[in-house]
Structure 1
């Protein structure tokens, strides 16, 4: 009788994969710092996200809130202060993982002004600067801005190039940018189709052409982290493991 009830309530869901992202070492794109942007909205949610990311195998998280003109008015001091709060909360919960912070800069006039003013930017690793553009419209003077970033001593890292619709029919532009030393960071969830079929196709083509320098969760919530489970054990995941990803050196 006991075995009957055990089988009756047995879940058909596959076992949850853990530690399968351990080979990456670090995630360098996540919106976990609470109440700074459209990511975690509370310390409780931030702690839950960190715990789940640790279970995936990450030893280090580089947290990257949006900095976007007059919409997300985050500053380096404000981001560092929130990081210190999260580290303290993790210590109280006895959750051991290394945390650091950078930012995801939006390519707008405010960002260009920071470059012109030589304002120190939040970076990660070897002076990498993570930036994004509009998803729909190509930024004006893109090459000029990239030149400014490099002239200020930074290495530009374009966040999720597979998701920009203005590039969907312009593979040559992507290839040219990468050849000109703009590094590419692909979202892991793009590889499982979370952002739609076109983003998935683009991510897979970048993978096939070995044009992925970093991968990130771009996690804004626990949902984004749980979707990553679909990647475990896939043929795409095995191809990803063969790339010399820069996450491993962070």
Structure 2
């Protein structure tokens, strides 16, 4: 077996069972992800070699750090899209956002200025270190307005690890849980890895994202796909598979 640091090759399309990535930070210079167009293209190349054929770039949107807008996100996408199309014409690259649950998101909801993954699926995150006073209200508002919330990396919200009722509550509200491949590789720690595996075991995971920020993280993908819980996802109707059949155009 190749070492974990071995480069992904065309013969080793380890992500072909997913076919798509709907959470990745590859738009250049717009958040804490890819710094340059070259970094973003490197991530695209590695994903393509791994069997990914549809990607939604999801830069952060939050009031305190990354006050991105539809215009700023599209501008960053336009920096990388032409070269991506030239190099990989059968790779579909669109853009959305990863929205932090804060007052700014509430204002965007009211103004209908949101970028969904596709259809009405919206990627949302919350604080990893403390309970957010906004999350439940935001989720209910999104649902009332016909959005379909996709909760980014629920396994990383440490305050919930001792409160399984929070996961059950959101699952009962039809919130879609999106786990990170990096969590399955143990990148964030054993507690996050164990929670990701538990959510998969419960059958509560409806989407998978790499959440890659930099090319030097890619060797963890090989470790993630060797996790038996990743193999369990092959039998789950994930949003990743639905994304492959959408017809959204930018």
Match of 2:32 in 1: 38
Contact between 1:118 and 1:152, CA under 8 Å: does it hold in 2?
Answer: no
Aligned equivalents of 1:60, 1:91: Cα separation in 2: 12
For structure 1, the 5+ residue unaligned runs are 1-10
Residue 244 of structure 1 deviates from its aligned partner by 1.8
- CA separation in 1, counterparts of 2:53 and 2:178? 19
1:52 aligns with 2:42: no
How far did residue 141 of structure 1 move?
Answer: 4.1
- 1:238 maps onto 2:228 in alignment: no
CA RMSD of aligned residues (A): 1.9
CA distance in 2, matches of 1:228, 1:60: 17
Distance in 2 of aligned mates of 1:57 and 1:93: 15
Which residue of structure 1 lines up, in the alignment, with residue 149 of structure 2? 156
* Runs of 4+ residues deviating >3 angstroms: 11-17, 91-96
How many angstroms does 1:241 deviate by? 1.4
Residues 12 and 233 of structure 1, relative CA distance in 2, 3 Å threshold: closer
Give the aligned partner of residue 187 of structure 1. 180
TM-score, structure 1 normalization: 0.90
Identify the residue that residue 17 of structure 2 maps to in structure 1. 23
| Separation in 1, partners of 2:197, 2:184 | 7
Shift of 1:92: 4.4
1:222 and 1:106 mapped to 2: Cα distance? 24
The answer as to whether partners of 1:16 and 1:229 remain within 8 angstroms in 2 is no
Contact 1:160-1:187 at 8 Å conserved across structures: yes
TM-score, normalised with respect to structure 2: 0.90
Return the alpha-carbon distance in structure 2 between the equivalents of residues 234 and 141 of structure 1.
34
Cα deviation digits, residues 51-110 of structure 1 (max 9, x gap):
001111100110000011042121111211221221112244456411000000011111
- Measured against aligned partners, the alpha-carbon deviations of 1:12-47 in whole angstroms (never above 9, x if no partner) come to 847655212111121000000000000000011111
Structure number, greater radius of gyration:
1
The question of whether the paired residues in 2 share the 8 Å contact of 1:67 and 1:103 is answered with: yes
Aligned-pair distance for 1:228?
0.6
The match for 1:134 is: 127
For structure 2, the 5+ residue unaligned runs are 244-250
